[in-house]
Amino acid sequence: MRFLKRAAPVIIIFVLFFSSFQIVKAEPFISVSARSAIVIDGHSGRVLFAKDEHEKRRIASITKIMTAILAVESGKLEETVTVSGRAAGTEGSSVYLKSGQKVKLKDLVYGLMLRSGNDAAVAIAEHVGGSLEGFVYMMNQKAADLGMENTMFHNPHGLDDHKELYSTAYDMALLTKYAMTNQTYRKIAGTKRYKAETMQGIWKNKNKLLTGLYRYSTGGKTGYTKLAKRTLVSTSSKDGTDLIAVTINAPDDWNDHINMFNYVYEHYKTYVIAKKGDIPKLKDSFYGNKAFIKRDITYLLNDEEKEEVKIDIELLKPKKSWRKNEKAIPDIIGNLKVMLGGKTIADLPVYYENERNKKPKKSFLETFKSVFKKASGGSVWSI
């Protein structure tokens, strides 16, 4: 839909404080042992701290996050896998598969994520991809689709068997952000103990943050090889804020992650900037109280940034014919942009209530006032 040029009668701007604040690239301000590190907001993907996050490095078993999400998305978790000799003979960490053994794919994925089974990784790859090589192609295609520009996979487990096997802290954060949108993956990655249906034994997750070190941990994946050193991806959640942290080549990775998480939780909070539902009554009274947005807008902000939020609403100029024929009014009548430091952090369509589009009950203005009135010194919006 084409929007008309901006004009005073159809533009509404919600302003908190104006200043010269700008969003800039995250700079190291947390002490970490890792050669590469990053922590991001699990919802928006906003980088909150980073250190050499785009440097290509070996990543060891955090590779298995890609293997796991592809297995989950295959829709084959309840299928039975016949373990090949190639899978059973894979070196390194293992769930002790035997050639010819029949195992449920779901059990293999749990063994992959909780016990870091390299044998499970190959068995998964062969079943889901048709061959190990076919699965590696799928891994790299998925990486490209997700914008992982500095990543190359050559196996499903992360062993140092190829020179050109690498990723970055940033790319692995992107991958994890995507994977965590999948409920099944989230459940597997956050499982502390698992009893396999088609194998013996009870597996305990190797992620010590999840099993006791950090109360807000929700999952992740550990990794280690002689060349990659210690690698770790972890997720956490506190008071509505979800975070993703990645470290590569980190001698003290558990504490690195705890330090990054704690810093963000101490200095940032997830705010509801706009609640789904009504938009405040417009100066141009044509749309009245029938203009609305369909979802909440939330964003992770520190105290200073909270005062920099601006909401800009642009609406279509009403046509005279619409007054006599309300059905002619388009479903989408404009857009709502949320800006911080001159950067757009959210852009949503504004809908007009009709038989096809029913607005939620919660008032946009009510929520906006409740969140920001104190920060703005009383006056919340202006036209």
Domains belonging to the chain, first-starting first, are 8-21+271-376 (2.30.140.30), 36-251 (3.40.710.10)
Distance of CA 370 to the CA centre of its chain: 27
Q: Is 221 annotated as a binding residue?
A: yes
59 within 8 A of 231, measured Cβ to Cβ: yes
336 within 8 A of 312, measured Cβ to Cβ: yes
- Considering the candidates 36, 51, 64, 376, report the single residue annotated as catalytic: 64
Does the pLDDT value for residue 226 go beyond 90?
A: yes
pLDDT band at 363 (very low <50, low <70, confident <90, very high): low
Does the pLDDT value for residue 207 go beyond 70?
A: yes
Instruction: Please provide the distance, in angstroms rounded to a whole number, between the alpha carbons at the two ends of the chain.
Output: 24
pLDDT digits (tens, 9 = 90+) for 105-114: 999 999 999 9
Q: What's the whole-number average pLDDT of the chain?
A: 87
Mean pLDDT over residues 53-64, rounded?
A: 98
84 is catalytic: no
Is residue 101 packed enough to be buried (19+ CB in 10 Å), middle (13-18) or exposed (0-12)? Answer: middle
What pLDDT score was predicted for residue 215? 98
Q: Give, for 376, the enclosing helix (H) or strand (E).
A: helix 364-376
Mean pLDDT over residues 289-314, rounded?
A: 90
pLDDT digits (tens, 9 = 90+) for 271-285: 998 888 877 755 556
**Structure-block tokens of residue 69:** 């999400």
CA dist 273 and 86 (Å) reads 53
What pLDDT score was predicted for residue 39? 98
Answer with the residue of higher pLDDT: 296 or 208: 208
Mean pLDDT over residues 81-91, rounded?
A: 97
pLDDT band at 152 (very low <50, low <70, confident <90, very high): very high
Mean pLDDT over residues 339-364, rounded?
A: 85
Mean pLDDT over residues 211-229, rounded?
A: 98
What pLDDT score was predicted for residue 110? 98
Answer with the residue of higher pLDDT: 167 or 14: 167
**For the chain, what percent of residues have pLDDT higher than 90?**
73
83-87, 118-122, 350-354, range with the lowest pLDDT: 350-354
Q: Calculate the alpha carbon distances from 8 to 144, 169, 312, 380 in Å.
A: 43, 45, 12, 19
pLDDT band at 358 (very low <50, low <70, confident <90, very high): confident
What pLDDT score was predicted for residue 281? 55
Pairing relationship of beta strands 332-340 and 343-352 according to DSSP bridges: antiparallel
pLDDT band at 97 (very low <50, low <70, confident <90, very high): very high
Mean pLDDT over residues 180-208, rounded?
A: 97
Sign of CA dihedral 210, 298, 263, 143: positive
Quick one: which of 319, 357, 313, 354 has its CA closest to 335? 313
DSSP 213: I
What pLDDT score was predicted for residue 299? 94
Task: List residues bridging with 82 in a β-sheet.
Answer: 102
**For the chain, what percent of residues have pLDDT higher than 70?**
85
What pLDDT score was predicted for residue 364? 52
What pLDDT score was predicted for residue 12? 46
pTM of the model: 0.84
Answer with the residue of higher pLDDT: 126 or 5: 126
76 is catalytic: no
How big, in percent rounded to 5, are the helix, strand and coil portions of the chain? 30, 25, 40
Those residues with Cβ within 8 angstroms of residue 253's Cβ, 6 or more apart along the chain or in another chain: 33, 34, 230, 231, 232, 247
31 is catalytic: no
- Considering the candidates 116, 167, 234, 376, report the single residue annotated as catalytic: 116
What pLDDT score was predicted for residue 285? 63
CA dist 290 and 180 (Å) reads 35
What pLDDT score was predicted for residue 286? 84
pLDDT band at 362 (very low <50, low <70, confident <90, very high): low
- Considering the candidates 61, 167, 236, 363, report the single residue annotated as catalytic: 61
Supply φ then ψ for residue 323, to 5 degrees.
Answer: -65, -30
Mean pLDDT over residues 123-149, rounded?
A: 98
Does the pLDDT value for residue 372 go beyond 60?
A: no
Helix (H/G/I), strand (E/B), else coil: 258: helix
In this structure, which amino acid lies at residue 154? H
56-60, 120-124, 365-369, range with the lowest pLDDT: 365-369
What pLDDT score was predicted for residue 21? 30
